[in-house]
């Protein structure tokens, strides 16, 4: 049997999604898992931490495309190639962002100064759609119960608040 025939037999490549059996789905799940391990390990490590919306988008897209390939909603190998292409594009954009702060700002955004010298920056709060309660909760999580004890607090590109105490 040729390699393609074996792959078709094991993965059900020529079958419609409703024709896939338990064995096909199990084989697809195993192969997709192994391929994703290789693909993700070759990508930059930060995208898995959902460091920015840019990284989060890649994670969601990989999950959506890989799921369709696994369940037969999309052809297996072309969908796997699409995952590889997305990771490569992400890598190229990340590299370009590293080289160009302007490009980085476009694809990853900027931090927002929320507290400066103990004073809340009201306009920044409005632009970030952040309530005072949200800010106070984030400060408490950082061990701060009084904004006047904060030299600087920034809403980072990741959506997390970073705090520098006085």
- pLDDT of 112 strictly over 80: yes
Q: Are 132 and 120 in contact (CB under 8 A)?
A: yes
Interatomic CA distance for residues 40 and 62, integer angstroms:
10
For the stretch 63-108, pLDDT in tens is: 999 999 999 999 999 999 999 999 899 889 989 999 999 999 998 8
Interatomic CA distance for residues 47 and 40, integer angstroms:
9
User: Would you kindly state where each structural domain of the chain is located, as residue ranges?
Assistant: 3-106, 110-165
- pLDDT of 49 strictly over 90: no
- Within 2-113, residue ranges assigned H as helices are 3-11, 22-42, 53-71, 76-99, 101-108
The predicted structure's pLDDT at residue 7: 86
- 156 membership: H or E segment, kind and range: none
CATH fold of the domain at 110-165: CRO Repressor (3.30.240)
The predicted structure's pLDDT at residue 63: 92
The predicted structure's pLDDT at residue 44: 64
Quick one: which of 155, 150, 152, 103 has its CA closest to 126?
Answer: 155
The predicted structure's pLDDT at residue 82: 95
Q: Are 48 and 39 in contact (CB under 8 A)?
A: no
Residue 157 confidence class, pLDDT cut points 50, 70, 90: confident
Query: Which 3 state secondary structure label does DSSP give 159?
Result: coil
Q: Are 65 and 83 in contact (CB under 8 A)?
A: yes
């Amino acid at each position: 049997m040729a390699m393609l025939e074996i792959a078709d037999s094991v993965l059900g490549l020529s079958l419609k999604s409703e024709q896939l059996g338990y064995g096909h789905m199990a084989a697809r799940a195993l192969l997709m898992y192994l391929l994703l391990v290789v693909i993700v390990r070759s990508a930059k490590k930060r995208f898995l931490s959902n460091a920015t919306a840019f990284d989060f988008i890649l994670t969601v897209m990989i999950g959506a495309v890989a799921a369709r390939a696994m369940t037969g909603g999309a052809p297996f190998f072309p969908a796997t190639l699409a995952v590889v292409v997305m990771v490569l594009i992400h890598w190229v954009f990340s590299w370009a962002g590293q080289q160009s702060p302007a490009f980085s700002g476009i694809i990853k955004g900027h931090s927002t100064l929320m507290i400066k010298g103990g004073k809340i920056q009201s306009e920044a709060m409005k632009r970030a759609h952040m309530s005072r309660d949200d800010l106070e909760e984030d400060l408490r999580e950082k061990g701060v119960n009084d904004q006047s004890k904060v030299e600087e607090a920034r809403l980072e590109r990741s959506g997390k608040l970073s705090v520098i105490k006085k």
